[in-house]
Amino acid sequence: MSADILSRISGDDPVARLRSLREAVPGRIVFTTSFGIEDQAITHMIAEAGLDIHFATLDTGRLFDETREVWAETEDRYGIEVEAFRPDPDRLADYIDQWGMNGFYDAQDTRLLCCEIRKVEPLKRALAGAEAWITGLRADQSAGRNAVELASWDDARGLVKLAPIFDWSRERTAEFCAANAVPVNALHAKGYPSIGCAPCTRAVRPGEDERAGRWWWEGDDARECGLHLDEKGRLVPNRRAA
């Protein structure tokens, strides 16, 4: 089944790719948005095309105010509801009791545990029962993501994973959003190309890649939160559908 679905996903532009996914997958498709510029472009495409795709987000409890503002603006603009998935309160309370509110600064293990509680586990609930998952990954976001292509079969979750703008540059994405009056996070104009939780995101410096402002204190070029990692902690690249 997975090979058959992947073979049917194609298209020269993201909307065609999204349509082909919707036609190839009979069941539930979930698009997870963090309200960054890539996800805003995809939200516009899905909404304008009227595709039957569910919108979801991971509300970590540490989002920027600007992210919450563009969340509300997006729902109003497109007449959609973005379902929020939040961390388990008991697990979060245990983490804070043991490591403190900002224990993620102390070691990579405590940071990854925080990401697991606030993002990875809620994602499992967001994708429960889904047959396909749409993301805003782009190949040129960082050195660690340069292998990202259009579509793959996610073995761990048992679903198709699509990155419809995998081959777009940031400039092309920004031009698309400007041309279509797509709501964008105000932090992008302040030097935040990649926006996550407020304590874990800073503006990037000249010459840094887009994700250099995420968990910057770790000094690891392959920094990720775990959403796109396999069970061994390696980034899972999408492969182009045949």
Distance between first and last Cα of the chain: 14
* 193: its two tokens: 């190309």
181 Cβ contact list (under 8 Å, min separation 6): none
CA distances from 164 to 3, 40, 104, 144, 240 (A): 18, 13, 32, 18, 11
Q: Which of 114, 115, 197, 225 is catalytic?
A: 225
Reduced to 3 states (helix: H, G, I; strand: E, B; else coil), residue 19 is helix
210 C-beta neighbours (distance < 10 Å), count: 18
User: What is the rounded CA–CA span in Å between residue 102 and residue 220?
Assistant: 19
CA 130 to each of CA 20, 107, 211: distance values in angstroms, whole numbers, following the listed order: 17, 34, 28
CB 5 within 8 A of CB 39: no
Instruction: With CA atoms as reference, report the closest residue to 131 among 22, 230, 20, 8.
Output: 22
225 is catalytic: yes
DSSP label at residue 162: E
Residue carrying the six token digits 């996903």: 9
**Each residue of 60-87: b (16+ CB within 10 Å) or e?**
bebbbebbeebbeebeebbeeebeebeb
Which of the residues are catalytic? 225
